[in-house]
Amino acid sequence: MRSEGVQYLVAIKQELKLHPERDQILAEYATHIEDLSLEFDQEINQEVPSLFYEWLVERLGTPQEISQIWKDELSVTPEKTQWLFIAINFSFFICGIGLTLIYKQFDWVWAKYLWSSLTSVPVLLMGLYMVFWSILGYEIGKAFGHGGKRLLFKTFWIALIPNFILMYLTVFHVIPFNWFEPLLNTAFIIACIVGTICLYPICWMGYRWGKKGSV
């Protein structure tokens, strides 16, 4: 390996001195540097080898930037990822319940405007919700790769619990239909049920997409 590549690796090593996977990371970057060295000779300039360090920084980032990326990955754990998405999905229901109660109990102009705006675009709401579940799959696939399959399955079913509860309460009229007028009707309920069935395939496609990005 040329001296500039060794210098670059030493700088990364110093930045990652407390990282538990430092040796594996350095071995991986050593391979990248060898490949980039050949590319540099072929495409850039064999006559000016001193430019190689700057070229590495341009292609891979500074040692400090690389170190920060790997330090950030340490903070991304399966448990944190799982409960983050569960909390986000649960917050959707809390916000929805809160807005419904405000709309029904108080004669506030902003609440009426927001309610009428949201209930006039049910297809858009469902589409955005589908996007949320695809992002869930994508982020798990990107962060954990093949090992995220079990995490995806577990996170999906736990996060879906509020959906099932609300669906049960609505279908069996525990929650009055007139609370959600004009949003809630037979066609919309059927669409919600079908959409719920489609959520896991959507999640899975997002996961596959994210997994490809992690390679």
Chain segment 118-176, per-residue pLDDT in tens: 878 878 888 888 999 999 899 888 877 777 888 888 888 888 888 888 777 776 767 66
DSSP, collapsed to helix, strand or coil, labels residue 106 as: coil
Closest Cα partner for 65 from 12, 22, 113?
12
Longest dimension (CA), the chain: 79
Closest Cα partner for 27 from 65, 55, 59, 1?
1
User: How confident is the model at residue 204, as a pLDDT?
Assistant: 92
> What whole-number percentage of the chain has pLDDT above 70?
86
What is the C-alpha to C-alpha distance for residues 57 and 206, in angstroms, rounded to an integer? 32
- Evaluate whether 29 touches 5 at the Cβ level (below 8 Å): no
User: How confident is the model at residue 201, as a pLDDT?
Assistant: 92
Q: What confidence category does residue 215 fall into, taking pLDDT thresholds of 50, 70 and 90? A: very low
User: How confident is the model at residue 160, as a pLDDT?
Assistant: 85
pTM of the model: 0.56
